[in-house]
Amino acid sequence: MVYQADQNRYQSMVYQRCGQSGLKLPAISLGLWHNFGDATLIENSRQLLHRAFDLGITHFDLANNYGPPPGSAERNFGRILQEDFSAWRDELIISTKAGYTMWDGPYGDWGSRKYLIASLDQSLKRMGLEYVDIFYHHRPDPETPLQETMKALDHIVRQGKALYVGLSNYPAELARQAAEILDDLGTPCLIHQPKYSMFERAPEAGLLDVLKDKGVGCIAFSPLAGGQLTDRYLNGIPADSRAASTSRFLNPDQITDEKLAKVRQLNALAERRNQKLSQMALAWVLHQEPVTSVLIGASKTAQIDDAVGMLANRHFTPEELQEIELILKSTN
């Protein structure tokens, strides 16, 4: 059956301006990190993308190494894009990244001009695209001069291979320096992608202030702390959970008795707000300035439904915010 996008897809989504740019992003974006590689049935990936777009999620976030194996998420996304979404390309924000190991030898990693330009060329071929909307440097390179990396990003935009550029995993001061270089080059930094959740507050130690000061948007990844901020672990660690499998995403050592106590208290507050814990956790991240969007992963369409359902109750009273802080700071 030929896919037809829901005609009401823009009615339930909230779109927010990204930093000081002219671009608006959906409050919920879909990350294609782990459920779009060759280990996943492509029809399942297709259903996730259909459901996301039907609910107004216009931003699909990839990277060169997403899979598994590396490169397969882009290739599979490109296939679905050509088969199902070609008529709506101009309604989509497609992002990809480079910065982690992608191929053998000295030119397949980090942040050199050689690597970034070659990697994006490969990504565009895998996805069958002439350009991406956002291209990120995925992590700082301790050896390549920052000026070289930022000049490569500027060059990519001037080539027409990306409309905007962003940073990911950059600490506060390095993010400031990078944004200032990009400003001087005439290609402003659109967005920064840090790991941020109720259980991961590192961006509050300077990074969010830098982004506000420089007019850079923020899209938070892992806003549910690898699944900890869901109802999955209310009664301990299920046998079929990420934590039980000691996956790369969540270590069982992270699910401590103290953490579980906090999860249960947060869940009780979420229930009083008539929403799921996962929804409250997403709303809390989205509440923080200058967060533009929260980046979710999904293996089932119901998870996308839940995330978008959060938008019906995404605001907090001062008392609720204070209660959340007390729970997070408590020791048990």
Tokens found for residue 6 = 């829901």
Residue with tokens 């995404």: 314
130 falls in which pLDDT band (50, 70, 90)?
very high
| pTM for the structure as a whole | 0.95
Tell me the longest C-alpha to C-alpha distance in the chain: 55
Examine residue 152 and state whether it is found in any structural domain, yes or no.
yes
Instruction: Dump pLDDT digits (tens) for 153-200.
Output: 999 999 999 999 999 999 999 999 999 999 999 999 999 999 999 999
Examine residue 256 and state whether it is found in any structural domain, yes or no.
no
Q: What's the Cα-to-Cα distance from 17 to each of 14, 63, 161, 162, rounded to whole Å?
A: 10, 23, 22, 19
Instruction: Please state the rounded mean pLDDT for residues 76-91.
Output: 98
Q: Is 87 exposed, middle or buried (0-12, 13-18, 19+ CB in 10 A)?
A: exposed
Q: What are the residues whose beta carbons fall under 8 Å from the beta carbon of 117, sequence distance 6 or more? A: 152, 155, 156
Residue 54: in which H helix or E strand, if any?
helix 42-54
Question: What SS3 state is found at 292?
Answer: strand
Instruction: Please state the rounded mean pLDDT for residues 20-46.
Output: 96
Instruction: Please state the rounded mean pLDDT for residues 287-313.
Output: 97
1 falls in which pLDDT band (50, 70, 90)?
confident
Instruction: Dump pLDDT digits (tens) for 207-243.
Output: 999 999 999 999 999 999 999 999 988 886 665 555 5
Taking a C-beta distance cutoff of 8 angstroms, is the pair 255, 233 a contact? yes
pLDDT of residue 270 exceeding 70, the answer is yes
pLDDT at 249: 57
pLDDT of residue 3 exceeding 60, the answer is yes
First to last CA, the chain: 54
The DSSP output letter for 295 is E
- Provide the pairing of β-strand 93-98 with 59-61: parallel
pLDDT at 331: 75
pLDDT at 248: 54
CATH of the domain at 97: 3.20.20.100
Residue 132: in which H helix or E strand, if any?
strand 132-137
Taking a C-beta distance cutoff of 8 angstroms, is the pair 174, 132 a contact? no
Examine residue 103 and state whether it is found in any structural domain, yes or no.
yes
Distance CA 300, CA 279 (A): 16
- Cis peptide leading into residue 290 (ω within 30°): yes
Which among 110, 101, 116 has a CA at the least distance from the CA of 70? 101
Structural domains of the chain, count: 1
Instruction: Dump pLDDT digits (tens) for 239-263.
Output: 555 555 545 555 666 778 899 999 9
Examine residue 2 and state whether it is found in any structural domain, yes or no.
no
pLDDT at 235: 80
With both helix axes pointing from N to C terminus, report the angle between 72-80 and 113-127 in degrees, rounded to the nearest 10: 40
Instruction: Dump pLDDT digits (tens) for 133-151.
Output: 999 999 999 999 999 999 9
| Domain region containing 95 | 15-228+274-329
**Which residue type, as a one-letter code, is found at position 287?**
H
Instruction: Please state the rounded mean pLDDT for residues 4-19.
Output: 97
Question: What SS3 state is found at 168?
Answer: strand
pLDDT at 233: 82
Examine residue 239 and state whether it is found in any structural domain, yes or no.
no
Distance CA 214, CA 180 (A): 8
Instruction: Please state the rounded mean pLDDT for residues 72-101.
Output: 98
Examine residue 238 and state whether it is found in any structural domain, yes or no.
no
Examine residue 50 and state whether it is found in any structural domain, yes or no.
yes
Q: What's the Cα-to-Cα distance from 23 to each of 19, 26, 158, rounded to whole Å?
A: 8, 10, 18
Taking a C-beta distance cutoff of 8 angstroms, is the pair 286, 27 a contact? yes
Residue with tokens 């990078």: 178
What percentage of the chain reaches a pLDDT higher than 70? 94
Point out which residues pair with 293 in neighbouring strands: 219
Torsion angle (degrees, nearest 10) of CA 217, 60, 126, 188: -10
pLDDT of residue 44 exceeding 80, the answer is yes
Examine residue 183 and state whether it is found in any structural domain, yes or no.
yes
pLDDT, averaged across the chain: 95
Poorest-pLDDT segment among 109-118, 126-135, 234-243, 301-310 = 234-243
